Structure 1
Amino acid sequence: MKMITAIINKRDASFVSDALKEGGFSFTKIATAGGFLQDGNTTLLIGTDDERVEAALSIIRHNCAKRTAAMPAVTPDARCAAGTVRIAEVTVGGATVFVTDVLHFEKM
């Protein structure tokens, strides 16, 4: 048995959740925030049999979009001459996924 911990953008959460349910996966959804952008994420905890890991990863992969977001630049020279803050574009979205072994599982 495996535990899949998938950290996804909150905008993708309903798409991934619906697809996982349709695929017969059970999961726990937790609201989280990223440390860098402080943007909303959703962390999914998915317990599954070893042979279904690839199916779950495929669902996550196909339902998490990468997108561009604007954020204030954090370099020492971030202020322009006019006193405004420079904006940098960063890529957000996609998914960060950890797959770990489960030594014991019990549903009570």
Structure 2
Amino acid sequence: MKLVYAIVNNDDTYAVNKGLQKAGIRATKLSSTGGFLMAGNTTFMICCQNEQVDEVIAVLKEHSRKRKQFVPSSTVTGPDGGQSYPVEVAIGGATIFVTDIERFEQV
């Protein structure tokens, strides 16, 4: 068995959850926060058989997308004072980890 951890941007949580449900894949959702942008994410924990991992990843890829967002950068000081310039960063998509399960019980 495998445990798939998928960290998904909150904007994609609904679509990913519906896609997993439609595929008959059960998941546990946890609220999480990213360290770089301090933005809200959802971490899906999905326990599945080894042969289902590719299907799980396909659903995650289909329903989570990357997008660009402007975030404030650090302040640059100059003769006119301090100014902050927005920087464009890529956000979204899914960060996926797959680990082996030594033991699984559902009680």
TM-score in terms of structure 2 length: 0.93
- How many residue pairs match? The answer is 106
Aligned partners of 1:10 and 1:41 also within 8 Å: yes
Identical positions, percent: 36
TM-score in terms of structure 1 length: 0.92
Aligned to 1:107: 106
Deviations 1:85-105 (A, max 9, x none): 111010000111000000100
- AA aligned to 1:17 is N
- Distance change (3 Å), C-alpha of 1:32 and 1:24: same
Q: CA RMSD in A?
A: 1.3
Alignment of 1:13-92 (within 5 A): 13-74=13-74, 78-79=76-77, 81=80, 83-92=82-91
- Output the CA distance in 1 between the equivalents of 2:29 and 2:102: 22
- Output the CA distance in 1 between the equivalents of 2:77 and 2:9: 29
Structure 1: where are the runs of 5+ without partners? none
Aligned partners of 2:76 and 2:82 also within 8 Å: no
Aligned to 2:92: 93
Structure 1 outlier segments of 4+, above 2 Å: 77-84
- Output the CA distance in 1 between the equivalents of 2:93 and 2:16: 11
Deviations 1:28-83 (A, max 9, x none): 00010100000010000000001111000000011111011111113xx6356463
Greater strand percent: which structure?
A: 2
- AA aligned to 1:69 is Q
- AA aligned to 1:83 is G
- Output the CA distance in 2 between the equivalents of 1:33 and 1:95: 14
- AA aligned to 1:78 is V
Aligned partners of 1:79 and 1:86 also within 8 Å: no
Structure 2: where are the runs of 5+ without partners? none
